[in-house]
Structure 1
Amino acid sequence: MQETLISAFTASLLSSAFYYIYTSLQIPAGMLFDRRNTQTILTTTALICSIGCFIFANSMNIYLLFFGRIIIGMGSAFAFVGLSHLLRQHFSLRQFGFLIGLSETLGFISTMFGIIGLGILVSYFGWREFINSAALVGCLIAFFAWLFIPATTSVQPGNYSIADSLNIIIRCKTQWANGCFAGLGFTVITVFGAMWAIPFIQAKLGCSLKEASVIDSMLFLGAAISCPLFGYLNACLKQRKPLMFISCTLTAILLYITLYFPYNDPVLMSVLFFMTGISCGSYMLSYTISNEISPQGALSTSTGFTNTLAMLTAPIFQLVTGFLLDLYGGPEHHYSLQAYQIALAVLPVNLLVASCLVYFLPEKKAK
């Protein structure tokens, strides 16, 4: 924002450009994984993501920044659906909740180190060099995907065509409630942790970018522990709906305390961020529910539908918070703590709405 002199709303548009293309490709990605070679898809899309990073890092105007961000979204759109597809191919559905949570752990740990590295590298070298490094990592991921992922096509075509399966999924009210639960629960990560947490921390504590990055990483560390933990608890407990309700409600309370209670202690804020991350992981159970209510042979398509709704909230609420920041912020894009508190007020509300949606989700079947 400082280098390109863009407003919070424009920065929100730039960030959300990723999610627009990412979200729109989730269902097509699921359809491809249900019918096509997983190795080829993941290798190709990893390369596309890497190319997008190179374009973004070397852009000299806002239009190329948007173009690079969109290309990154195109490549990234196949990652999570492809991962869930591989897990279903090689492990039992009973293990799915824990394993998808464990994979999310790896993602959050990478994000945590990325955020810390972002603060350090941007301070010393600049953000362009950091994104160029990410592009090189993307090339390595593409190489390893081609080397280690089996070149197999999905089995179990099921009794429905692709169109029939998609029609069943779209007409299922439980699918919509499940996806909305995931999306609203996930905004604490996609809107707060991934976009506005660091400038909020700087406004509240008056600290440096590096210090704010370390504090923000505690949210992702907590989430890294939380996701497999909720998968494990889901497998052990007879009922999951109380667990999901408590998770969303507790996360809303912790986030409210983080945003509005008067304190200026970095250690306390780090603890609050960590506890918020620990409590938020129940959104991952939506993907287990998606498997249970999906037509046979369309599990990846169902995952794509759930992930569409899960990620659709990110661009919506990033834009909402960016608009509110510009509305209540100061001149020259310098935003006060009060402006952040007003703009981010939607996030605890999202979590409370998610806790209400638990009522419409199916309980575990007795074994």
Structure 2
Amino acid sequence: MLWTLALGWAVIYADRTCLYPLLAVIADSLGISSAQAGALTSAYFLFYVAMQIPAGILGDRLGLKPVLIANYGLAGLGILGLGYFGDNYYLLLLFAALHGLGAGAYYPAAYGTVLSQVEQSRRGFSSAVIGTGMALGLIVGLAMSGSVYEWSESYQWPFILMSIPTFAILPVFWRNLPECRGAAAVSWPIYRAILSDSALWRINIATFCALYGFWVAVSWGPTFLKAERGFSLDQAGLFTGMMAITALPAALAWGKFSDRAGRKKIASTVLPLGALSLYLLSFAQGKIAIMGVLLIFGLFSNSAFTPIMVAWTGDIASKRYPGFTGAAVGIFNCVIMISAIAAPLVSGYLRDLSGSLVPAIVVGSIVMAAGTVLLLGIPELHLDMKEADRAVCFFHIFSTMPWINGYR
């Protein structure tokens, strides 16, 4: 199950990230501004985000597996449309939005499945296994996109090629994923409680801050390396994707450590180090220095950090709102992926304004650093539960002592 879901993440992430090295190419080919090119990724994520909460609710009610498969097929139609109709900007926007709408169900369905099937002591590691798919898809999408473009001299071919594994994985989901269903009926009081849960909101916003910096690096990183550091297009995509090399083992390590040492301790270490490494990217010169910074950034960025936070969400949701894990994860991903709408647009605007992507990278690092503050007020639920268990045990022993019973 875990590796099937990781493979699904790899494909959907490669679908998504193969667009980023082509943003400048599309802008030049269609005669649009950098902000308009950035709007292609924002259109994707606008509909991706809009699908999060409905997908989580539908998955809890109808089953996470059928919701995942149906929407994944829709994502396949979107990526195929980007390839066949990509010579028109407005059709590009349309099919980017369609792909985002379909892909939007994957996160709540995949992580909702894992969090409902895996015990709390293994959630961090299990979430990290799925997170390895993000890292793998990141490097595949970024590396193949520029190479296929330079081979074919068409920015449409990478999308057409990526539609093949997107459709091919559907029967694998059907065969390998378990049937998971949460609450049988809508419970608006529970949804309102989830939406008003301050601990969950701190997790959501802190992860939003972490992902904002990540999307600055991923969406405009290839353009930064090509335009301001002298890389070729295929080198720019490959180097940007290098962060995935270290993200793969880091995700598994941080996830495992968070299961043992606690979510808060690991998360509050990883996030500020991610902010610092992104800031260093704005100064890095030369291929060796840039490679080193990106490899370090991979140790602390999205694929390494997010599994800790989604496991933390699962810890809280499974205790406070059993049967509504899909909805809680859907709300989580809805909030955090707004960063993917904001980061490309704001970064493109800063580039248009300043003529450089350095200000955008610096702003991304500042936003990441600000997210660290929010981690301090989140309860370490599984540690709290151990303390509660000790308290219950103490009360039981205390209340059964003979001298206590003598006063009853």
TM-score for both structures, normalised by structure 2: 0.82
Matches within 5 A, 1:184-203: 184-193=209-218, 195-203=219-227
Equivalent residue in structure 2 for 1:146, among 168, 171, 174:
174
Distance 2:186 2:100 in 1: 28
Residue 289 of structure 1 and its aligned partner are, at CA, apart by 1.7
Look up the match of 1:31: 57
Mapped to 2, the partners of 1:153 and 1:292 lie a distance apart of: 18
| Counterpart for residue 352 of structure 1 | 369
Superposed counterparts of 1:230-309, under 5 Å? 230-237=254-261, 239-261=262-284, 263-264=285-286, 266-280=287-301, 281-294=304-317, 295-309=321-335
Q: Superposition RMSD on alpha carbons, in Å? A: 1.8
User: Residues 164 and 364 of structure 1: is their aligned pair in 2 closer, same or farther, counting only changes over 3 Å?
Assistant: closer
Kindly indicate whether the alpha-carbon contact (under 8 Å) linking 1:181 and 1:283 is maintained by their aligned counterparts in 2.
Answer: no
Structure 2 residues without counterparts, runs of 5 or longer: 1-26, 387-408
Q: Which of 222, 225, 240 is the aligned partner of 1:216?
A: 240
Q: 1:332 maps to what in 2?
A: none
Q: Pick which of 281-290 and 270-279 moved more.
A: 281-290
- Contact 2:250–2:300 (8 Å) recurs in 1: yes
Kindly state the Cα deviation for residue 305 of structure 1 after the two structures are TM-superposed.
Answer: 0.8
What secondary structure does 1:3 align onto?
A: helix
Q: Is the Cα–Cα contact under 8 Å of residues 31 and 162 in structure 1 kept in the other structure? A: no
Cα distance, 1:153 vs structure 2: 4.5
Q: Is the 8 A contact 2:225 2:231 kept in 1?
A: yes
- Counterpart contact for 1:25–1:77, Cα < 8 Å: yes
Q: Which structure has the greater CA radius of gyration?
A: 2
Aligned length, in residue pairs: 351
Whether contact under 8 Å (1:21, 1:73) holds in the other structure is: yes
Tell me which amino acid in the other structure corresponds to 2:294: F
Q: Residue 201 of structure 2 is aligned with which of 170, 176, 184?
A: 176
Which residue of 342, 346, 351 maps to 2:359? 342
Deviation of residue 161 (structure 1)?
4.3
Task: Give, in angstroms, the shift of residue 278 of structure 1.
Answer: 0.5
How far the C-alpha of 1:73 sits from its partner, in A, is 0.5
Structure 1 partner of 2:396: none
The alignment partner of 1:210 has SS state of helix
Contact 2:275/2:365 (8 A) holds in 1: yes
SS in 2 for 1:49: helix
Which one is further off, 353-362 or 34-43? 34-43
Which letter does structure 1 place at the counterpart of 2:307? M
Report what 2:338 is aligned to. Answer: 312
Are positions 1:120 and 2:147 aligned together?
yes
Partner of 1:61: 88
Give a deviation string over 1:309-345, Cα, whole Å, max 9, x none. Answer: 110111112211111111122xxxxxxxxx1112222
- Kept in 2: contact 1:254–1:272 (CA 8 A): yes
Aligned-partner Cα distance in 1 for 2:367–2:112:
29
Instruction: Report the residue type matching 1:162 in the other structure.
Output: S
Find the residue that maps to 2:240 and give its secondary structure: helix
Return the TM-score normalized by structure 1: 0.91
Instruction: Provide the identity percentage.
Output: 20
- Structure 1 unmatched ranges of 5 or more: 330-338
Separation of aligned partners in 2, 1:105 and 1:188: 19
